[in-house]
Amino acid sequence: MTAASACATTGGDDAAGRAGPPKPAAPVYKLSDVLGATGDAVDATFGAPSLTRREGAGEYRRYRLKTCTLIVVLYPDETGANRVSHADATALHSDHEKPALDACLAAG
């Protein structure tokens, strides 16, 4: 009988001892980490982009994250520094649904 009692859990039926639902993990990244950032800062945060395309004064960059692809568009600000003016998320695979940008960034 001693072995069976060693496997028993504690607090499983006691409402006071039960933990509530697990708290969601803190987001890995937030939109405020991206918008307005320089290209160098974005690269420092996410690594080298998987695609970079220059179009006129702007620049399109794509970064592969854990659950999605982050797309950022950089344009020169009033000082001439390229900064993120737009961000979006796409699915990693074409047969998956487009994720919400906040969820993409939160997952990292």
Instruction: Kindly list the domain boundaries of the chain, sorted by start residue.
Output: 29-107
pLDDT digits (tens, 9 = 90+) for 11-41: 444 455 666 676 656 668 899 989 999 999 9
CATH 3.30.43 applies to domain 29-107: no
pTM for this one? Answer: 0.73
Give the C-alpha separation, 108 to 23, whole Å: 17
Pairing mode of beta strands 82-90, 51-55? unpaired
pLDDT digits (tens, 9 = 90+) for 65-77: 999 999 999 999 9
